[in-house]
Structure 1
Amino acid sequence: MFSSVVAVCIACFLAYIFNQRSREQAGDKNGKPIPGPPSLPILGNLCDIPKSHSWFRFKEWTDHYGPIVRFKIGASEHVIIAEEKIANDLLRERGSHYSSRVFLPMAAEYLSGNMRPLFMPYNDLWRTSRKLMHRLTMPSMANSYQPAQSIESARLLHDLLQDPRNYERWLQRYSGGLIFRIVYGKRVQTGEENYLQRAIKVVHNVERIASPGSYLVDVLPFLRYVPYPLAPFKQEGMRLHSEELDLFRSLLDDARKELETPDVLKRPSFAQTFLEEQEAIGLTFDQGAYVLGSLFEAGTGTTAAAMMSFLLTMTLHPQWQEFLWAELDAVVGDRMPDFEDIPRLPRVRAVIKEVLRWRPVTAGGAPHTLTKDDEYNGFKFAAGTTFHPVQWAIHLDPVLYPDPDQFDPSRWLDPSFPTYKRPLDKFPTLQNFSAFGFGRRICPGMNIAERSLYILTARIAWACKISKAKDSQGVIIDVPSYDYTSGFNVMPKNFAFNLSPRSKLHEQVVEERYRYANNLIYLKPKL
């Protein structure tokens, strides 16, 4: 006990010294003072930031101090960005200096073994990993996955109509099933498969651990030197790392066994491509396993969470379903919409884009760390400063989004809004939308996610009618507008709603496509 107290005291003393050093180095020499809340010695603003839903506090600060706000966590300097233009100016236009990550010992080292691209600094290993991820998810490749998305979305639609109360399961099965198919060549049948449930658990662990302020060692990195027996965070992180590495290895090893086994039907996948070209790619087996696992993380929770928000939004604002029905009935009529219809469905694209704006999945934004001193609009930023493009604040900017608290898809379609763009067979689009991040750290699965969101929105809206549920007494069950989980990616907590087919004809078409989908075999994408 005494040694533990001594270790903490030493860590706090070192943190204080480094805090003083950081204040001297990251001051506003020859630049305008960066506005922000007052901070405490050693802890900075740690006590001001809630452990859950921190984006609410960040939004309060930007409302009070302006679109650029400085705060401190321990010895580290942080800046909140609350305007899209500023985020693009810095994180996209100056991406070579704004694309690193602050070192988070718990998330990067103990949980990930420094192999998860999400937490890597801007270095050669990250660039090699990102190059592989880009190769597998670029637009031409994403187009080749549309048959798989069509099949999985038909299965989702059928099961959602049969059992809407299990909507979370069906959406997670769609997202997980799609990614498992194209990454590992595995077909997800029920959504209860052990490997899928283990992978979903990994995603939840990452989101929880990466949440700001979750672990003191990320605030006071000197706690890394606390001996293992006295550091429960090390024990937890290394245990979870062992579990997820075992999963990633086993999934990649399954693909290797298929390659090495003669006379067995090969199921083409990213994993097989990596194994066949591993030497040229330049990653070890474990590094490759983590890159492939990261593609699952990037493509599952975000898509499922966004579609949960879509269901919630249609429950709260059913009038927008009629808005969608009018377009869908005019364009596709009695047949189920397909990918070739998407350019002629601007309302569908506007609705899902507005869902992502109104209820962003990565509400707190993904942090970017500056690697070189920089200046912007009179403000001077020191290397090592971490920037937070807080989507909750950016998406509620009243200048770019008039009446930002209102869910209004017409802001993407009406020329009177600043967000309107032409032509409508191309815009609105999710390409380079702030919901997917900024610059060189933009979500690697964006192209796949975009296509999933379009086809799911179009098909659910075409086939289904969504409304508020009633209790056993016939009283309408109220649904809160914002009751979301906390973490890196967020989703609405389970809520009650009614979902039924729009007509017998719609139900019949869904049933036919479902039977057809279950009999199809995916085609191999050309890499």
Structure 2
Amino acid sequence: MEGLALLLLYLAIPSLLYSAIQQILSWRKKPESEAKFPGPKQYPIVGRIHDLPRFSLWLKFQEWAHEHGPIYQTRAVDQTFIIISDEKIAEELLVKRGHIYSGRPQIRSLIDHKIKPNYSALMDRHDMWKYQRKWAHAAMAEAYKYHFYGHVEMEIKRYLGLLLLDPARFLDYTREYCGRVMSRLAWDDATQGRMNGESADTTLHCMSVSGPITNTVAPLWHLPAFINPWYNFEVKREAEQKAWWLNNLRVAKHRFHEGTLPNDTWAWRYFDQLVREGNPSLEQDEEQEVFASCMMGFVNLVGVVTISGPLKFFLMAMGLHPEWQKKAQEEIDRVCGDRMPTMKDFADLPTVRACLKETVRWRSGVPLGVPHQAEQDDEYRGVKIKKGTIILACEWTLNRIPEKYPDGDNYRPERWLEAGWPTYQEPLSRYPNFREGHGMHSFGWGRRTCLGQNIVDDETFVFGASVLWGFNIAQKTCPRTGKPIPIDTQATNSHVILEPNSYQMAFKPRSDERAKQILEEYHSVLGKLKL
């Protein structure tokens, strides 16, 4: 193994030397007096790549923010990064100057993602991106009018039943719940929910700093294919994912012709649009089919990972903070009594919403923020920012600014419920939520803002209220010592979009009557859901 590592290093040396020469030439051209943002000491050639952790990188960025201020810069070989930990600065650059800072950097271990149709959120801003984003926005907005056609409430009944029957697998069921909702909305095939979650997780691994080493040591990506395991893995993974999405599109197209595809799916919406545009036969070449299948497939995929992580952290938070679990349950019992909560109870359950909102602040699903790239040269505060510079609004640090989030390291849902906290907003029948108000930077900035606020709002609310209605959640106890099994709340997969590492939790029905009702509701949907 050591010999292989040395071989790979030596093979990468030509690319490293090329980067070094470029760096040296840039020093010769650059006036010594050129203004710079503050930042950590930079070393020749490597910048600071040598001591950047591949896991929990956001903690290092927070450490540097405390030392160097709300905007600083660093470098990894020949790539410059500007790190922001102030909302006003982020708004100035990423929103008000969104025409400059809305590009996406190349993720080395994803092939041509800036120009291909696979992942709209990772494309540059060209016509393909504009069409996909506009289409996805309209489809999501239409579905939200009908609160996603009741699929969220249907799937939560299945989830609660599985949680009652096999609570040890709660983490698997949580991701599958998210995958099933999205797969039903996209293709009318909830059975693909588990595969949807697994595909999303593998894709995130390949695009993350904590994933393939080629994402941090980019020269290794250029090794010849016959000795390049990272390139070969990605070629296979991408081909399998695209084939899966394309098959889903073709099956849905066949069902559309038969008249068996429900009109509350995004696939139906797309085919109906083709018909209205004068293509009743739905004839398309393979390139057009791939484009459409990727457009829907990516919406499907991203809807899993952006929601399953926060839900897993929410269950963790409830087990670790029984006082807030109890407050939320008392509110649910007062409003709902013996019936299971639905979206109709949204306005009357602010404590549930506060616990969910605080979860996303306390353990952000995207702690680094999603990177933006400067699409042209610019200047800010007297510092020249060159085209290609990567801008990161570090969500972990933004969520801990003392003036806005006092006691930011601790889980404090009252910050959303009690007057006097900087994040408190009225009326509580409306706030807090994931569609508007404070903390919306969790969904990104400007022209690259995530389009999924509405489904996050619905899916997390129904999940949180329903689980707390049905179950008491507690840390699992060690059978030998009788003490609670510790949970590391910062142990995650360290992907671009996080899920916590596996942890143990105990779920107990709140009463025999609730358990009976959960089973009855579970059996009532079995005939309606594809399992």
**TM-score with structure 1 setting the length:** 0.89
The residue number in structure 2 matching 1:423 is: 427
3-state secondary structure, aligned to 2:190: coil
Q: Does 1:238 align with 2:246?
A: no
Residue 301 of structure 1 aligns to which amino acid in structure 2? V
Q: Does 1:477 align with 2:450?
A: no
3-state secondary structure, aligned to 2:506: strand
1:267 to 239, 262, 266: 262
Q: Which moved more, 1:470-479 or 1:363-372?
A: 470-479
1:364 to 351, 362, 368: 368
Q: Which moved more, 1:283-292 or 1:165-174?
A: 283-292
Cα shift at 1:489: 1.7
| Cα distance in structure 2, aligned partners of 1:28 and 1:455 | 58
2:508 to 481, 500, 504: 500
| Cα distance in structure 1, aligned partners of 2:237 and 2:371 | 23
2:152 to 146, 149, 153: 149
Cα shift at 1:291: 1.6
Alignment RMSD: 2.9
Change (3 A) 1:252 1:112: farther
The residue number in structure 1 matching 2:225 is: 228
Q: Does 1:514 align with 2:514?
A: no
Do the aligned partners of 1:103 and 1:121 also contact (CA within 8 Å) in 2?
no
1:486 to 485, 494, 509: 494
Cα shift at 1:300: 0.8
Do the aligned partners of 2:42 and 2:75 also contact (CA within 8 Å) in 1?
yes
Cα shift at 1:222: 6.3
**1:458-493, Cα deviation, whole Å (9 max, x unpaired):** 111122111122222333322233222221122222
Do the aligned partners of 2:114 and 2:122 also contact (CA within 8 Å) in 1?
no
**1:20-66, Cα deviation, whole Å (9 max, x unpaired):** 466678989765x3011122333222112111221111111112111
Change (3 A) 1:521 1:469: closer
Alignment of 1:28-39 (within 5 A): 31=35, 33-39=36-42
Q: Does 1:385 align with 2:393?
A: no
The residue number in structure 2 matching 1:164 is: 167
Aligned length: 513
Alignment of 1:160-239 (within 5 A): 160-188=163-191, 195-212=192-209, 214-215=211-212, 217-218=214-215, 226-239=223-236
**1:296-353, Cα deviation, whole Å (9 max, x unpaired):** 2211122111111011111111110111122212222222211111012111111100
**TM-score with structure 2 setting the length:** 0.88
1:77 to 73, 77, 80: 80
Alignment of 1:15-414 (within 5 A): 15-20=19-24, 31=35, 33-109=36-112, 115-138=118-141, 141=144, 143-188=146-191, 195-212=192-209, 214-215=211-212, 217-218=214-215, 226-260=223-257, 262=258, 265-268=260-263, 269-278=265-274, 284-414=288-418
Cα shift at 1:74: 2.0
Change (3 A) 1:17 1:162: same
The residue number in structure 1 matching 2:445 is: 438
Cα shift at 1:444: 2.4
| Cα distance in structure 2, aligned partners of 1:25 and 1:321 | 60
- Structure 2 gaps of 5+ residues are none
Do the aligned partners of 1:12 and 1:220 also contact (CA within 8 Å) in 2?
no
Identity %: 26
Do the aligned partners of 1:108 and 1:114 also contact (CA within 8 Å) in 2?
no
Change (3 A) 1:401 1:139: farther
Cα shift at 1:438: 1.9
Change (3 A) 1:146 1:230: same
Change (3 A) 1:460 1:225: closer
